[in-house]
Amino acid sequence: MAQRYEGGCMCGAVRYVAEAAPLNERICHCRSCQKAVGAAFNARLMFRADEVRLSGPVKIAYSSPAVKRGFCAECGTTVLSGREAAGVLAVTSGSLDDPSLFRPAMHIWISSKQPWLKLDDGLSQFDEAAPA
């Protein structure tokens, strides 16, 4: 049986469940992610969109024509991002009920990494998107 990933926003109005292995687990340093989560990077787990069940008042904003961002309409917590055309949805690691489930494999978009951030965790690093 696959691992169960559950989480939600700070106030509890938005909840999600995924009962599948993530497609990937990455730490993104692009400027869009930095702005969307209000931090130096976005640590996230990506799933097929049909494997994630969402409930609650999710407000959607588009950071580009292809990438949507979702946050709680009540408390503002960023909980997801996704590419509808690719059929994928990512949840933020900090919104997991058990954030220790997050197992990142790489850093992407380190060309936008904050200069004070030192990456010494031994993970693969890519200047932009990861190779296909």
Which domains, ranges and CATH numbers included, belong to the chain?
Answer: 5-114 (2.170.150.70)
Is residue 99 within 8 A of residue 79, CB to CB? The reply is no
CA distance 119 to 34: 16
Average pLDDT of adjacent 10-residue blocks, the chain of 132 residues: 92 97 97 95 98 97 94 97 95 98 98 98 97 82
Instruction: Please state the length of the chain.
Output: 132
Per-residue burial over 51-62, b if 16 or more Cβ lie within 10 Å, else e, is bbebebebeeee
